Amino acid sequence: MSTLRLGDTAPDFTQESTAGTIRFHQWAGDSWVVLFSHPADFTPVCTTELGKTAALATEFARRKTRPIAVSVDPVDAHQRWVQDINDTQNTTVNFPILADADRKVADLYDMIHPNASTTATVRSVFIIDPQKIIRTTFTYPASTGRNFDEILRVIDSLQLTDRHKVATPVNWKDGDDVIIVPSLQDPAEIARRFPKGFKAVRPYLRITPQPDK
């Protein structure tokens, strides 16, 4: 199938996992979702990533976001891997790992890249909103661990900009100043939305303190 793009509906699926059978859209409910893939079980970089995801459980919950991993190995291998992750990363894996042995999810989400591997999934990330729309994608090489601070930062930006007519500038972090979107021109609406005022660096670049969430 063609590559999924931002704004596409995240494909639904039913697949086995370490938490039992997952019916993806039903499981996601009205939460945000981070769906992220791994080339195989018992791989070193992914072991650290799954441990970090578990350690960030409170941060994901605060953002009403549910992480879910996928690997092409079966459930019994996942269960053994989880024991290793918990032991080596000093945490408790508390989210499902999809057992995608038939590559159903990998094919739906175009996670098999023949130039990298004809059998294993690339290390992809999909950030999906409560309407099941794909809002962000990342694809990492096998040698580079994913930056989960960046994943959380993107979720913060998406959730903020969905609520307010703002965009987030370079290297923005939660609490930093934001940019009023150029399409917003009505002075009365600007005054109502941004009571702390703004600085017009250029007519198209108006900086304002981050609105309350």
In order, the DSSP letters of 148-162 are: HHHHHHHHHHHHHHH
SS3 2: coil
Task: Read off φ and ψ for residue 98, nearest 5 degrees.
Answer: -70, 135
- DSSP-derived secondary structure letter, 212: P
Positions marked active-site: 46
CA distances from 77 to 4, 73, 86, 91, 179 (A): 29, 6, 14, 19, 47
Q: Rounded distance, CA 80 to CA 145, Å? A: 21
